[in-house]
A and B are shown apart, each in its own frame.
Chain A
Amino acid sequence: MTAYLLRRLLQMAPVLVLISIVSFSLTFVLPGDPALAILGEQNARDQQLYAQMRAQLGLDRPLPVQYLDWASHVLRGDLGTSTTSRQPVLLLIQQRMGPTLELGLFGFILAVVLGVSVGVASAVRPNSKLDVVGTLVAMAGASIPHFWLGLLLILTFALWLRWLPPSGYVPPTQDVIGNLRLMLLPTIAVGSGGAAVLMRQVRSAMLEVLGQEYITTARAKGLTAGAVTMRHAFKNALIPVVTVLGLQIALLIGGAVVTESIFSIPGVGRLAADSIFNRDFPVLQAIVLLVAISVLIANLITDFVYAWLDPRIRYG
């Protein structure tokens, strides 16, 4: 197991370097000049001032030198300064991390609880009413765009029924109930897609496992239906489910960009969307890098869980 983990960690190194190069390149492929953005059109007409700013930002050096300099700063936790707010990027991201983590966690919990429970129930009784309804809802849930679902939820529960507030954010440390009321609709918007995909995956994997001979043997031994389903079938159906869960992390982060924009949640997703429109390259660069590293870590955890679930993987 240790050798497998080490091998996976070593494979991560070149990918991390590639990710850092892609993130660094964003500064150069995005239209607009950071020096121009800081100085403004008027001041940038002064060639000397413009050249000074480019030198101050290090933009007059060769690209490999700039990359190595940037990478060494990143490794020391210095992600640069926002060109819009003039604050350190790391501080900006730290300030916005709470709402995004909360939304991601709630969305993930919703996806797992709903997806796994309905998926297992559907597989245990195939073609029952619950299975038919669950399959239809899963198909619809996997096809509905996050942002449209968000708009429909606001329209129905906030504007028509007036049960919940339409948008905004209150930290749970200030008002727990207020926070939960504000987070309920965004959680449904961001987690429903994942729940639908998981539901289909769990059902499919469970049906395949429940048809195996060792399940018949377990039943023949006189085990209860619950024991057969959970102890014998579910663990062996988990591998494809874990794959989907790993992929959901990336989807949740992508979904956060839109969901936070619709529900006015001051999180990292909204910061990313704002940074694109404000041409705030250091912020965008840092978010893209951190998000990619988070997804890479999620993939690594997924692989470790595979190896734990199935010995053939770690010895293969």
Chain B
Amino acid sequence: MLVVVVGSGLLAPLLAPYDPERQDYAHVLEPPSTSHLLGTDDIGRDILSRIMYGARTSLSVGLVSVGFSVIIGVPLGLSAAYRGGLMDDALMRLMDAMTAFPELILALGITAALKPGLLNVMVAIGVVGIPQFARLARGQALSVRQLEYVNAARALGAGAGRVLAFHIWPNSTAPIIVQASLRVASAIVTEATLSFLGAGVPPPTPSWGSMLQASYQYTETAPWLAVFPGAAIFITVLATNVVGDALRIVLDPRMRKGVPAR
């Protein structure tokens, strides 16, 4: 499923039957037919083409925002665990404060501050995800930093940066990869929700959330406007979650042995 979504997004310029922004007032709100497989919207744009291009928006927001969270959150968590003391306390209290804001409320506040736009939505969702990765990396680093090979590296004269980058980080990656894959799914939903509320990707860029927002007033007369973009979000998130679960099973030895992890 995920391959189909990623493939249709990547190959949208080749596969999409119409230009996603082309308006055709002779064919507005047309139900699914052979000429428009998933119908048309209120200004005659082809829904299938917009969903294919929308996949690019959703997937790029998912991947870039999670990349942002990992790049900022993981070094913060690793350094907090390695240094300990005041730095650890201060960083973790900051992360506590950030997690006290529900994800959507914080993302809404940040996008409102930065003004709606693709890059700003990525930054907003990325910022919201930082505490998850900082905490996870800190927890992993705390369990690894007292191991003998880390002490040995330190005794050989390795500096903090080297110990963190070459000795602690490689042994902390598995849960972070799993978390990142699951986080992509929630980032896609947050982007769609922000766009649905009018605070996400602005028109005319195709986005599944803004397509659903536009469908709201036609729910009774043109239900396909709401059904197909929503189904695209659902299938993508479901497929990403399945991949995340599969990764967890592959990377967690406890689960490989058939013991369910918490």
CB of B109 within 8 A of CB of A284, answer yes
Find the B residue at minimum CB distance from A261.
Answer: B197
Is A272 engaged at the interface, CB distance under 8 Å to the other chain? Answer: yes
Dominant secondary structure of chain B at its interface with chain A: helix
Q: Which of B102, B220, B226 touches A253 (beta carbons < 8 Å)?
A: B102
B residues within 8 A CB of A277? 198
Q: Decide: A291 near B109, CB < 8 A? Known: A15-B93, A148-B212, A148-B230.
A: no
Q: Mark A243-285, 1 if CB is under 8 A from B, else 0.
A: 0000000110111011001100000000011001100000010
A residues within 8 A CB of B241? 139, 142-143
Is A18 engaged at the interface, CB distance under 8 Å to the other chain? Answer: yes
CB of A276 within 8 A of CB of B230, answer no
Is A19 engaged at the interface, CB distance under 8 Å to the other chain? Answer: yes
Q: Mark A135-148, 1 if CB is under 8 A from B, else 0.
A: 00001101111111
CB of A291 within 8 A of CB of B108, answer no
B residues within 8 A CB of A299? 100
CB of B260 within 8 A of CB of A15, answer no
CB of B238 within 8 A of CB of A139, answer yes
CB of A155 within 8 A of CB of B219, answer yes
Chain B min CB distance to A23 (Å): 9
Is B101 engaged at the interface, CB distance under 8 Å to the other chain? Answer: yes
Q: Which of B93, B94, B100, B212 touches A292 (beta carbons < 8 Å)?
A: B100
Is A208 engaged at the interface, CB distance under 8 Å to the other chain? Answer: yes
Q: Decide: A291 near B102, CB < 8 A? Known: A30-B112, A139-B242, A147-B212.
A: yes
- In the assembled complex, the Cα of A287 lies from the Cα of B109 at a distance in Å of 11
Q: Mark A18-29, 1 if CB is under 8 A from B, else 0.
A: 110010001001
Chain A min CB distance to B1 (Å): 11
Find the A residue at minimum CB distance from B213.
Answer: A147
Which among B94, B98, B196 has the greatest number of chain A C-beta atoms within 10 A? B196
CB of A26 within 8 A of CB of B103, answer no
Q: Which of A14, A140, A208 touches B238 (beta carbons < 8 Å)?
A: A140
Interface locus among B42-50, B65-73, B157-165, B185-193: B185-193
Chain B min CB distance to A224 (Å): 25
CB of A273 within 8 A of CB of B197, answer yes
CB of B101 within 8 A of CB of A22, answer yes
CB of B101 within 8 A of CB of A272, answer no
Chain B min CB distance to A197 (Å): 11
Report the contact-size class of chain B (Cβ under 8 Å from the partner).
35 or more
Is A176 engaged at the interface, CB distance under 8 Å to the other chain? Answer: no
Within 8 A of A (CB), among B218-236: 219-220, 223, 226-227, 230, 233-234
Is A39 engaged at the interface, CB distance under 8 Å to the other chain? Answer: no
CB of B230 within 8 A of CB of A254, answer no
CB of B108 within 8 A of CB of A147, answer no
Is B259 engaged at the interface, CB distance under 8 Å to the other chain? Answer: yes
B residues within 8 A CB of A287? 105
A residues within 8 A CB of B112? 30-31, 276, 284
CB of B105 within 8 A of CB of A253, answer yes
CB of B230 within 8 A of CB of A207, answer no
Chain B min CB distance to A113 (Å): 22
Is A37 engaged at the interface, CB distance under 8 Å to the other chain? Answer: no
Is A92 engaged at the interface, CB distance under 8 Å to the other chain? Answer: no
Q: Mark A221-259, 1 if CB is under 8 A from B, else 0.
A: 000000000000000000010000000001101110110
Q: Decide: A19 near B97, CB < 8 A? Known: A139-B241, A250-B102, A276-B199.
A: yes
Within 8 A of A (CB), among B17-43: none
- In the assembled complex, the Cα of A262 lies from the Cα of B99 at a distance in Å of 26
CB of B185 within 8 A of CB of A15, answer no
B residues within 8 A CB of A240? 262
Chain A min CB distance to B132 (Å): 11
Is A286 engaged at the interface, CB distance under 8 Å to the other chain? Answer: no
Q: Which of A15, A207, A211, A288 touches B96 (beta carbons < 8 Å)?
A: A15
Is A44 engaged at the interface, CB distance under 8 Å to the other chain? Answer: no
Sample 27 A-B pairs with CB under 8 A, ordered by A number. A11-B93, A15-B96, A15-B97, A15-B100, A22-B97, A26-B109, A30-B113, A31-B112, A142-B241, A143-B185, A143-B237, A145-B193, A147-B212, A151-B226, A155-B219, A155-B220, A205-B262, A207-B260, A250-B102, A253-B105, A254-B103, A261-B197, A273-B108, A276-B108, A288-B109, A291-B105, A299-B100
| Nearest 5 interchain pairs by C-beta | A148-B230, A18-B97, A254-B104, A254-B102, A143-B238
Q: Write the residues of chain A forming the contact surface with B, with a CB cutoff of 8 angstroms.
A: 11, 14-15, 18-19, 22, 26, 29-31, 139-140, 142-148, 151-152, 154-155, 159, 204-205, 207-208, 211, 240, 250-251, 253-255, 257-258, 261-262, 272-273, 276-277, 284, 287-288, 291-293, 295-296, 299
7 new A-B pairs (CB below 8 Å) besides A31-B112, A143-B238? A145-B193, A145-B234, A254-B103, A257-B104, A291-B101, A292-B101, A295-B101
